[in-house]
Amino acid sequence: MVSHLLQLGLYQLFFLNLAPHAAVHETVALAKRCVSPPEARFLNAALRAACHDQATATALLWRQRETQPWVPWSHPQWLWERWVARWGQEPTERLCEWNNQPPAVYARLNTLKATQPPDGLPLEATSCPLCWRVTDGAVFFRSAAWQKGMFYAQDPSTLIAVDMLDPQPGESVLDLCAAPGGKTTYLAQKMQNKGRIIAMDSSRARLGRVNENCRRLGVEIVVTLAGDGTRLARCLCGTTFDRVLVDAPCSNTGVLRRRPDLRWRLQEAEIARLAAIQGNLLATAARLTRPGGVLVYSTCSLETEENERVAERFRDSHPEFALETTRSTFPPRDGMDGAFVARFRRG
């Protein structure tokens, strides 16, 4: 317990940059409720020494990095060790550092309502032609442009799957896991509001957000359908689509910067369970893709079991589908959330 309290105090001092007296006082106050008086006095002395002696503080931090490197980076041990085994320590440190930074907010331009952002908005251009970085959210989200549906808040990584699906005006498209509607509305945007999109999700409440976003953005070709994606073929018996998007439920390890609590709730066993669900969703999607049609599988996971392995198993078990291309993003390298996308074509 003393070790954990010491870690907590040092983290406040050197990572959160709190005022030294506040960090020490609050940590010691907590210690008095959890450990013995001598241990609380030791903790008080150690933290005060760290405040006044940078060498002591540095030694404490380096000792922690050597014995439990995942602790200073505020990630669970199993996830740290998994990533180090895959990429090595330096890339893992860069990823953890990325996850500990405040996430940027991006806005996708809705070309159904505007061809360029109006002047005067707090936006910065990015490498993605349709995405701008929001520099002042309070101003931007009160603006008339936002209220009129000229923008949708969306990380550039989430556009990749739709771009790879490449839906065309007049086609029929199935979005198998649609809520809350970011990819669905971008599908409609690329289709110029011409054709048909079935937006399916297991949660009727979440589909309400899809409908709400469609109304605000002026999307008119979306029909929502509630149900279990793995049983969807029964609901759409005999129906096939030109293009199918499976943005599957996943571990979300590519978006931990946006969901900082998730790293402590996620368990390693969840990855295998999710991979099985992802495989079942792809099997359903296969039956709903017309001959010559395109099927795209995507996640916001960094884990091989949910990405490459799922795509490879699907390819091997469905020889009528050719794996045309894959793409993955690594947040510190690409400057956007982590994502994986695989594109298949049915023969």
- How is residue 273 written in tokens? 């369970």
Q: Are 288 and 232 in contact (CB under 8 A)?
A: yes
Q: How far apart are the C-alpha atoms of 306 and 274, rounded to whole Å?
A: 7
User: Would you report the helix, strand and coil content of the chain in percent, each value rounded to 5?
Assistant: 50, 20, 30
Q: Are 213 and 180 in contact (CB under 8 A)?
A: yes
Q: How far apart are the C-alpha atoms of 346 and 322, rounded to whole Å?
A: 6
Q: Are 90 and 82 in contact (CB under 8 A)?
A: no
Q: How far apart are the C-alpha atoms of 125 and 258, rounded to whole Å?
A: 21
- How is residue 118 written in tokens? 């109006």
Among candidate residues 190, 197, 193, 191, the one with its CA nearest the CA of residue 174: 197
Surface-to-core class of residue 315, CB atoms within 10 Å of its CB (0-12 exposed, 13-18 middle, 19+ buried): middle
- Residues with active-site annotation: 300
Q: How far apart are the C-alpha atoms of 230 and 71, rounded to whole Å?
A: 39
- Degrees, nearest 5: CA angle 212-170-200: 40
- Degrees, nearest 5: CA angle 316-322-325: 105
